[in-house]
Chain A
Amino acid sequence: MNRRSLLAAGATAAFAAVLGAPLRANGKIKVGFIYVGPINDGGWTQHHHHSAKEMVEHFGDAVDLVYQENVPEGPDAERAITQMCLGGADIIFTTSFGFMDPTINVAKKFPNVKFEHATGYKQADNVSVYSARFYEGRAIQGTLAGRVTKTNKVGYIASVPIPEVVRGINSAFIHARKVNPNVEFKIVWIFEWLNPAKEADAAKALIEQGCDVVLQHTDSTAPHAAAKEAGGVYTFGQAADMAEYGPMPRISSIIDNWAPYYIARVQAALDGTWSSVNTWDGISTGMVGIGEISDAVPADAKAEAEAMRDAIAAGEYHPFTGPINKQDGSVWLAEGEIADDGALAGLNFYVEGITGNIPS
């Protein structure tokens, strides 16, 4: 589905409206998705789309799927979302942080359309927010990184400076330090979610500076290609399993699984029970999946990481459990204290031991 078919869909809907035909005469629902990247990016957007298709399969003919790819974050997103509303969408999922304000703005104009915004924090009567506790997966990556590194230098390709990304860095760092007190993090911000050339440059620079583990919060597989070329460097799949780069350099991954959520929300819309909610799920519900840990990881480290995964899933362990100090040395969480969701949602500082500063 591209812009043209969207326009066609819009025209059809307008025509139907003129005829006075109800849009959902046969109980059909039109579900829209706004994507920040192309559906074949190999990561973030691909997995949203994959989950959307699973949702369509689940409902069969009851659902009409419309989507638009490569929507820029910012004002132009408002136009894209509006167009989808005019096209007759009943429920629209906007799947990137930068769509937050555009979603809220459009939602005001279309009170009868239901909106679901991913990874944001602004809710309204017809806008739900949903996100995944990716930091739980980062804790496992940090543990593995701390165990497998020989140079004690771990590279981190950070994307856009928002709390979600900062949480991931902190979580990975805390757990890498826990198993390896000598480990250091080198963080590079590229200010984009997807830019293969910049990601490759960043990965190469980190590897040249001695990092033998590279974590990424960006969407392409370019860092894996760089690590493969360099040899002896470990990486993790981001958003998608990226299994094609296993067993080396990719040794595990965080997999986004949105399908159960999408199915539940569309079901609610069909049943007329939809209401605005704030969902933040993690490993326990499967929204955050941990990709298989490859045999390139020593067996004991693998077992340790899997035990942590199971403990998080069972609710026995929270990755942000004190004592944790802030970067400046002041106390953030006292011994045994667990960070509350409010503090995590707005997290904007590094924990003690990380060098450098977060771009504002």
Chain B
Amino acid sequence: MDINPILLAAAIMVASTPILLAAIGELVVERAGVLNLGVEGMMITGAVVGFIAAHESESATLGFMGAALGGAAVSVIFGLLTQFLLTNQVATGLALTLFGVGLSALVGQGYETTTQVPVPKIPIPVLSDIPIIGTILFRHDAMVYLSLLIVAGVFVFLTKTRAGMILRAVGENHDAAHALGYKVRRVRMMAIMFGGACAGLGGAYISLVRVPQWVDNITAGTGWIALAIVVFASWKPWRLLLGAYLFGGVTALQINIQAEGLDIPVEYLSMSPYLATILVLVVISGGRAPGSLGKIFHASS
């Protein structure tokens, strides 16, 4: 056996982070009652903006900040269209994806052969020296830790804070929330921008850490996986963490099993991440979609 379980577990965390970041952002958006199918478009925008920002500034930190801003910027387009001009959210989200993929290919011209500034690993003192667990959990780059902090933060925000309750109220029944005097549009715009920023970070994690380089269409459908995981996780942050790590985990595992040359047909291995994630999340499912998800809100109605 050449599979090193410790390195594999560490690789799983890296493979899962882009999906996790994009999915947790979309979770907040959907809990606010907005269905943004443009995750893929926001991710790839973040990927290209992050790459260019990091390349030009020679700073990975600035790269990720640029990616978050880029993702948020394109999400504002979606927000303005759906919240103020009351366009259909499904159609606008799909358009955002097409727009993002095209825009990124245009903006990224000329950056294909450039190599990227390395993103440093940050071993956490003391903890990283624990055998096995230290290597798996505590020797990653800052974004892996940040993604976990964001998940924890979203959980606390949604369940323990007043602002989080308001956001959920807006998502469950926007007319009631409006009648109580909450600013439905404002809450939703902020949620949409948060979702865009997270998707941008997820995309940049692919172009700055996982690959790391810029190629057209580099996200290759990751945004759609993130969208699906939000639904299968029934809009709950911890299930979403499980789903994202499971998907990333089985993806990394199946490559390792192939390389090992085990006698399992490759077709089954390739479909295994999808099957495993759907199965597990369906089995533990329960909970329902936010009441106003995808519905158009207008104060007059």
Contacts and interface: CB of A to CB of B under 8 A. Distances in A.
A40 B7 CA distance: 33
A188 B215 contact: no
B267 A40 contact: no
B11 A208 contact: yes
Contacts of B112: 40-42
Contacts of A196: 211, 213, 215, 218, 220
B215 A205 contact: no
B4 A220 contact: no
Interface stretch (A57-65, A298-306, A352-360): A352-360
Contact of B256 (A40, A200, A205): A205
Interface in A2-38: 37-38
B258 interface: yes
Interface in A249-269: none
Interface residues of B, number: 40
B255 A357 contact: no
A205 B255 contact: yes
Contact of B216 (A40, A198, A221): A40
Interface string B112-126: 110110100000000
Contact of A197 (B11, B211, B261): B211
B259 A186 contact: yes
A41 to B, nearest CB: 6
A194 interface: yes
B15 A201 contact: yes
B115 A186 contact: no
A241 to B, nearest CB: 11
B109 interface: yes
Contacts of B206: 197
Contact of B255 (A37, A202, A360): A202
Contacts of A200: 210-212
A41 B212 contact: no
18 contacts: A38-B217, A40-B215, A41-B216, A186-B2, A187-B259, A189-B270, A196-B215, A197-B211, A197-B219, A197-B220, A202-B259, A205-B256, A208-B7, A210-B2, A211-B259, A244-B115, A359-B265, A359-B266
